[in-house]
Structure 1
């Protein structure tokens, strides 16, 4: 399955996805000279070129009946994510969620016989749920040299 990444997704995610999905062709719209192309034209063209999935950050795309119809007619899997927080922290959380989810999503899509709509929910922004922090000067763990 070929995967097309929309222009609203940072191009930096492209190389990470290519490394995580080595048996897939992953393209960013900017690479194939489709940057600036409206989704109503892009979606049918992508389907004609053999793309099987479309990754976008366009959270409101499914609220537009014309775009929803274009997605349906394309037959491509529609994978979307949101960036719930601003700035570099928000970008990091969103890209982390996409990179972590895509190998699982692609594996699941291999086993389905029909078009799927996927929403990558994201990572919890609270550091307490994403990492542990220890100050070894105040509370040394058992493995810390004394």
Structure 2
């Protein structure tokens, strides 16, 4: 079985390309930037995809399925359409997009390989923000009983070999 040929649209951060290629070694993963399709209108890009062998489009353009002409182009092209909704701003948005794609696409690809026809996929967004990490001041909140400087620190001793009397 040949791998799928996957195209990342320009709203997908290009830094997602290298890890995806590593995670999906049996498949071809390209980015529109790398194949000189950046800025190509969707109504030209979508019909050109099957002509170049692409079977999957990954995009953050959630409005594609709200546009009659783009829906018609996607259906006619017969490509799998994988989308996610961007979340956050700036670095958080980029991190969210990359995390969403890296967490979701390797799980979706086997489903698409087995599909007996076109599939539309919406990836669940990985949201970046305060809930993604926890910061602790070890002076105020030591992480364990054995944290150096903790007032109630007791030294942990290695177990002694006991010799029977």
State TM-score, norm by structure 2: 0.79
Q: Over aligned residue pairs, what C-alpha RMSD do you find?
A: 1.8
The one-character-per-residue Cα deviations of 1:74-120 (angstroms, maximum 9, x if unpaired) are 11110111212111112211211111111111122122212111112
Give how far 1:36 is off.
2.0
Give how far 1:15 is off.
1.0
| SS of the residue 2:55 aligns to | strand
Please tell me whether Structure 1 or Structure 2 has the larger radius of gyration of its CA atoms: 2
Structure 1: how far apart are the matches of 2:45 and 2:117? 21
Among candidates 43, 46, 57, match of residue 46 of structure 2 = 43
Among candidates 19, 30, 33, match of residue 30 of structure 1 = 33
Structure 2: how far apart are the matches of 1:31 and 1:84? 24
User: Equivalences for 1:56-67 in 2 at 5 Å?
Assistant: 56-67=59-70
Is 1:116 aligned with 2:125?
no
Is 1:138 aligned with 2:140?
yes
| SS of the residue 1:54 aligns to | strand
Structure 2: how far apart are the matches of 1:31 and 1:141? 46
Is 1:20 aligned with 2:26?
no
Question: In 1, are the aligned partners of 2:59 and 2:83 still within 8 Å (CA)?
Answer: yes
Give how far 1:50 is off.
1.4
Structure 2: how far apart are the matches of 1:125 and 1:18? 23
Question: In 2, are the aligned partners of 1:44 and 1:70 still within 8 Å (CA)?
Answer: yes
Task: Structure 1: state its 5+ residue gaps.
Answer: none
| SS of the residue 2:73 aligns to | helix
| SS of the residue 1:51 aligns to | coil
User: Equivalences for 1:77-96 in 2 at 5 Å?
Assistant: 77-96=80-99
The one-character-per-residue Cα deviations of 1:115-145 (angstroms, maximum 9, x if unpaired) are 11111221134433x3344433333334754
Q: 1:36 to 1:135 in 2, by over 3 A?
A: same
Give how far 1:19 is off.
1.2
Structure 2: how far apart are the matches of 1:73 and 1:59? 18
**Which is strand-richer, 1 or 2?**
1
